[in-house]
């Protein structure tokens, strides 16, 4: 009997987990929404101010010094909390396009996504790119249209724009009553109830529930004109959108839409209440050997993020592990698949932004921080013995390349250590040329160079400058013919570099030249991501 009880609790632990990421264009209000979700979950008592440097309570998920100075998220934050007996693991991602690769890797560790759209600006370019990543995995998406306290676009127009630009069907589950200064609240189409809120930036306001939209009380609360408009809108919406098919949402075909104002606590509770009901628990994941189900008894998981110096007072390095199957137990020995050896983790932590607590066990869907001395890299898999590696965490070819120049010869060791750790975090990619050992940093956006420079100075006391390079693409190279591969390396030695894992990379200077080289060397395979199969 004992086994059945244990098994039941194991399955229950899995079923009560929801692991999701919040994504958006910069300034859509993503970090503010994160704050309010934490507020509703009781994880914090007071919301922080994301942008005001005058206020000491910076947003809890933006903890790095450079984030505080700039008021933007540059690293993914992980936060876990309980809400109505559901364990929520929330990953707040950088919105800025320069940090898209960090966001992409984070999306490999979640089971669903909440996408934030600014009602004033509508769907922006970065949101479109992030949606592409979600589509690659058919990740379920919930949409939160934010900033209803401002004069924005017509709600119907916003729905049309989301469908057109993001190429996904929508299904509104709440509806705004007016907008801007006359914003009254939201009507939940899902629960058939009205929620009226008083603007409040730091406390939770309970709504007034009206179960019947034709109730005359509605006119008293929102005024006759707004009540009439809401009834017309709801009649139209119920005609256009039949009942939500939950499976279509889980398959990534339909995005349920909520309206609100995160900064004023409008509509956030409706989003969270519906999310815990319909969002998927941990899902099966592919390895190089097979599909692994979360309900399997044996533990497995993968590293999707590494962060050095989370505590500036202690030079530590933490690897973020997504538990995929079985139960993780602190102090157990697990196989490090890439190195082929067992590692024991006596220190394992759960996160609340930079606050941490020791955890003895974790379940599928949970994110665990492992203290690491340099053994772990992004993409590494840990198991109870199986040699399968979790797939789908590649590095992409960067778009901007600059040589790193050391400005203080006395700090060479610090610079090299700092660069190595930052590259292992996935902040950027480093390519070391075979000839001359020149180090070139490749990034997706210009802002990353500022972050690297800032962190090298503040965390490693190393001063560097960056010199722009005339490089079009970094191409990982391979060939089934080792002789031809060596011939290619010999003939193009000036343009051959190694990435941080020692993989061969061809640094192409222009699109036309790359095409010519590809034509001249048909036996060589050129890859634009580091994860490839010949």
Whether 319 and 234 map to the same domain: the answer is: no
Task: Tell me the two tokens of residue 184.
Answer: 């009254």
Q: Give residue 428's pLDDT.
A: 84
DSSP conformation class of 524: S
Question: By percentage, how much of the chain surpasses pLDDT 90?
Answer: 36
Specify the CATH number for the domain of residue 329. Answer: 3.40.50.300
Whether 266 and 296 map to the same domain: the answer is: no
Q: Give residue 508's pLDDT.
A: 93
- Classify residue 407: in a domain, yes or no: yes
Task: Tell me the two tokens of residue 59.
Answer: 């947003």
170-217 pLDDT per residue, tens: 999 988 888 888 787 888 887 777 777 666 555 555 556 676 778 787
- Classify residue 194: in a domain, yes or no: yes
Could you tell me the CA-to-CA distances from 173 to 210, 243, 270 in Å, in that order?
16, 10, 9
Question: By percentage, how much of the chain surpasses pLDDT 70?
Answer: 83
- Classify residue 390: in a domain, yes or no: no
Whether 263 and 312 map to the same domain: the answer is: no
- Classify residue 340: in a domain, yes or no: yes
Q: What is the 3-state secondary structure of 351-379? A: EECEEEEECCEECCCCEEEEECCCCCCCC
User: By residue range, what is the domain housing residue 375?
Assistant: 292-383
Strands 17-24 and 86-92: what pairing?
parallel
Pair 282, 301: CB distance under 8 Å = no
Pair 280, 140: CB distance under 8 Å = yes
Whether 409 and 298 map to the same domain: the answer is: no
DSSP conformation class of 299: -
Whether 404 and 509 map to the same domain: the answer is: yes
Whether 409 and 372 map to the same domain: the answer is: no
CA angle (55 as vertex; 49, 58 as ends), nearest 5: 45
Domain-terminating residue out of 351, 383, 415: 383
Q: How many domains are contained in the chain?
A: 3
Whether 202 and 241 map to the same domain: the answer is: yes
Whether 38 and 138 map to the same domain: the answer is: yes
Task: Tell me the two tokens of residue 458.
Answer: 């503040």
Whether 49 and 123 map to the same domain: the answer is: yes
- Classify residue 33: in a domain, yes or no: yes
344-387 pLDDT per residue, tens: 988 887 765 445 678 888 999 999 888 887 788 888 999 998 99
Specify the CATH number for the domain of residue 490. Answer: 3.30.70.3280
Whether 365 and 406 map to the same domain: the answer is: no
Whether 424 and 486 map to the same domain: the answer is: yes
Residues of the chain predicted below pLDDT 50: 1-5, 47, 49-63, 66-68, 70-76, 95-96, 98, 353-354
How many whole angstroms from its chain centre is CA 512? 35
Q: Give residue 487's pLDDT.
A: 94
Strands 254-259 and 525-527: what pairing?
unpaired
Q: Give residue 49's pLDDT.
A: 35
DSSP-based helix, strand, coil % in the chain, nearest 5:
30, 30, 40
Whether 203 and 66 map to the same domain: the answer is: yes
Q: What is the 3-state secondary structure of 208-256? A: CCCCCCCCCHHHHHHCHHHHHHHHHHHHHHHHHCCCCCHHHHHCCCEEE
Q: Can you tell me which residue has the tokens 């040699």? A: 387
Q: Which helix (H) or strand (E) holds 342?
A: strand 341-344
What pTM does this model have?
A: 0.75
């Amino acid at each position: 009997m004992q086994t059945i009880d244990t098994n039941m609790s194991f399955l229950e632990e899995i079923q009560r987990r929801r692991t999701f990421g919040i994504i958006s264009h910069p300034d859509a209000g993503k970090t503010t929404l994160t704050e309010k979700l934490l507020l509703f979950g009781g994880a914090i008592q007071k919301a922080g101010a994301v942008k005001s440097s005058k206020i000491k309570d910076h947003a809890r998920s933006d903890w790095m010094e450079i984030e505080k100075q700039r008021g933007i998220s540059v690293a993914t934050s992980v936060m876990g909390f309980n809400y109505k007996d559901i364990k929520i693991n929330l990953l707040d991602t950088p919105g800025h396009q320069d940090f898209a690769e960090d966001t992409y890797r984070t999306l490999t560790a979640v089971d669903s996504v909440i996408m934030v759209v600014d009602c004033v600006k509508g769907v922006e370019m970065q949101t479109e790119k992030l949606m592409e990543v979600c589509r690659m995995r058919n990740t379920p998406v919930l949409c939160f249209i934010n900033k209803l306290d401002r004069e924005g676009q017509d709600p119907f127009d916003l729905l049309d724009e989301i469908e057109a630009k993001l190429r996904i069907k929508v299904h509104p589950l709440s509806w705004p009553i007016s907008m801007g200064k006359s914003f009254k609240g939201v009507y939940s189409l899902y629960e058939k109830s009205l929620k009226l809120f008083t603007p409040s930036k730091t406390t939770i306001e309970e709504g007034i529930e009206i179960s019947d939209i034709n109730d005359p009380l509605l006119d008293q609360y929102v005024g006759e004109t707004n009540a009439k408009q809401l009834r017309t809108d709801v009649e139209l919406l119920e005609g256009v959108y039949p009942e939500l098919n939950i499976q279509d949402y889980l398959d990534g075909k339909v995005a349920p839409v909520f309206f609100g104002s995160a900064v004023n606590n409008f509509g956030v509770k409706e989003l969270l209440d519906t999310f815990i009901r319909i969002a998927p628990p941990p899902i099966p994941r592919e390895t190089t050997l097979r599909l692994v189900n979360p309900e399997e008894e044996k533990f497995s998981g993968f590293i999707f993020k590494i962060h050095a110096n989370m505590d500036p007072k202690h030079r530590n390095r933490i690897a973020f592990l997504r538990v995929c199957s079985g139960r993780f137990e602190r102090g157990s020995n697990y196989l490090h698949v890439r190195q082929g050896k067992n590692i024991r983790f006596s220190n394992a932590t759960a996160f609340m932004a930079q606050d941490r607590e020791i955890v003895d066990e974790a379940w599928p869907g949970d994110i665990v921080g492992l203290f690491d001395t340099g053994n772990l890299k992004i993409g590494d898999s840990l198991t109870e013995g199986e040699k399968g590696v979790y797939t789908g965490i590649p590095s992409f070819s960067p778009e901007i390349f600059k040589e790193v120049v050391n400005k203080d010869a006395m700090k060479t060791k610090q610079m090299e250590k700092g660069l190595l750790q930052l590259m292992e975090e996935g902040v950027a990619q480093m390519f070391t040329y075979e000839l001359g050992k020149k180090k070139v940093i490749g990034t997706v956006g210009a802002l990353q160079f500022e972050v690297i420079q800032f962190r090298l100075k503040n965390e490693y006391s190393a001063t560097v400058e960056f010199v722009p390079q005339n490089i079009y693409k970094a191409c990982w190279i391979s060939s089934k013919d080792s002789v031809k591969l060596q011939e290619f390396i010999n003939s193009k030695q000036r343009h051959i570099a190694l990435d941080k894992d020692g993989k061969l990379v061809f640094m192409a200077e222009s699109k036309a030249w790359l095409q010519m080289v590809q034509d001249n060397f048909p036996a060589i395979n050129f890859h634009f991501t580091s994860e490839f199969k010949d």
